Amino acid sequence: MNRNYYYYYLYFIFSILIFHSIGDEMKPKDRLKPHRGSARKLGFVSVFALCLVFFFAGFFGARLFNQKDISNGDGFKSSVDRSVEDELDPMAHGETGDGFVNTIPFQVLSWKPRVLYFPNFATAEQCESIVNGARPKLKPSMLALRKGDDLDRSKGTRTSSGVFISAWEDDTLDYIEQKISKVTMIPRDHGEAFNVLRYELGQKYDAHYDAFLPKHYGIKESQRLASFLLYLTDVEEGGETMFPYENGANMGKGYNYKDCIGLKVEPRRGDGLLFYSLLPNGTIDMTSLHGSCPVIKGEKWVATKWLRNTTWV
Ligand SMILES: O=C(O)CCC(=O)C(=O)O
């Protein structure tokens, strides 16, 4: 039985017992005697009303205890989450765990690479607030420089604008970062700052790896393990995140990294997308090649968080 309901029943039974004992003093013989205590003046209706008062006190009290549990955890549960999750009975948890059950829906989009989709990961208001915070700070997006690269490489490959914003600079991003750390079980201090991106008409990001390929970047002590994308707007047409090598398709067949093919994920405001760049054995998953198809109609905003296999902040 849900622990909350258990509390409510207890309060209800308690209140009945208390008022039953008061009621004992209200036997007909006593009622004849004048003024022997205030309880005697209580009629059935008052006793019932008091029972209700105690019941509701228990009801809201139990919710209060539950709130305490929430702040013991990461403190990010919204009232929407709570309405569903209160139906589930939490398990005893460790020092760093939560006293409540989360229900965050997801869909496996692919195993090769490992791609998870999270519908309604953020609310429309949260997305708007992130976009509004980032808009005045946008600069042309850059690429991580490879050995021998010049600064111009990003010009044709990545045409969006963007800005890096840390979770501590923005309450909404702080909330989202906590939620990302839960669904990935990758601690928050393994994440780079959010890269909030805007793609205007025709803008795109050609296929690339988020992980640093040793042949291009040398051996890095810290590697990108996974990426989480939060779509901040709907896009009327185009702007899909694409995985051209999904399930090994197009690999070794002279794929042109500018082509928008393979598994395509339509950006929808508030939805999240998680994919892993490293395999469970720590090597790079070569099927994790991905990019953003050109925006054909509308504007695309997305917040990307790269998660490292080492602490990063
Ligand atoms: O915008 C997208 O859909 C993809 C973004 C991306 O590939 C990246 O930030 O690494």
The answer to the question of residue 86 being in a domain is no
The answer to the question of residue 37 being in a domain is no
Ligand 1 centroid–CA 148 distance in Å is 23
pLDDT at 152: 61
Nearest to 211 by CA among 286, 264, 114: 286
Ligand 1 centroid–CA 292 distance in Å is 6
The answer to the question of residue 173 being in a domain is yes
290 lines ligand 1 (CB under 6 A): yes
Sign of CA dihedral 116, 118, 119, 125: negative
The answer to the question of residue 242 being in a domain is yes
> Considering only CA atoms, which residue is closest to atom 7 of ligand 1?
291
The CATH number of whichever domain residue 213 belongs to comes to: 2.60.120.620
More confident residue, 47 or 74: 47
The radius of gyration of the chain from alpha carbons, rounded to an integer in Å, stands at 28
277 lines ligand 1 (CB under 6 A): no
> What rounded mean pLDDT belongs to the chain?
84
The answer to the question of residue 180 being in a domain is yes
210 lines ligand 1 (CB under 6 A): yes
Residue 140 forms beta bridges with which residues? 161
> Which of the four pLDDT bands, split at 50, 70 and 90, describes residue 228?
very high
* Containing structural domain, residue 274: 109-145+155-308
* Cβ atoms 134, 164 nearer than 8 A: no
- The tally of domains found in the chain comes to 1
Give 232-249 pLDDT, tens digit per residue.
999 999 999 999 999 999
The answer to the question of residue 175 being in a domain is yes
pTM of the full predicted structure?
0.75
> Considering only CA atoms, which residue is closest to atom 8 of ligand 1?
304
Name the DSSP letter for residue 278: B
Give whole-number Cα distances, 290 to 18, 166, 188, 258, in Å: 66, 24, 24, 10
Sort strands 224-231 and 114-118 into parallel, antiparallel or unpaired.
unpaired
Lowest model confidence (mean pLDDT) among 56-65, 172-181, 301-310: 56-65
Lowest model confidence (mean pLDDT) among 46-55, 166-175, 178-187: 46-55
Tokens of 279: 């395999």
Give 198-216 pLDDT, tens digit per residue.
999 999 999 999 999 999 9
The answer to the question of residue 64 being in a domain is no
120 — phi, psi (to 5°)? 55, 45
224 lines ligand 1 (CB under 6 A): no
The answer to the question of residue 79 being in a domain is no
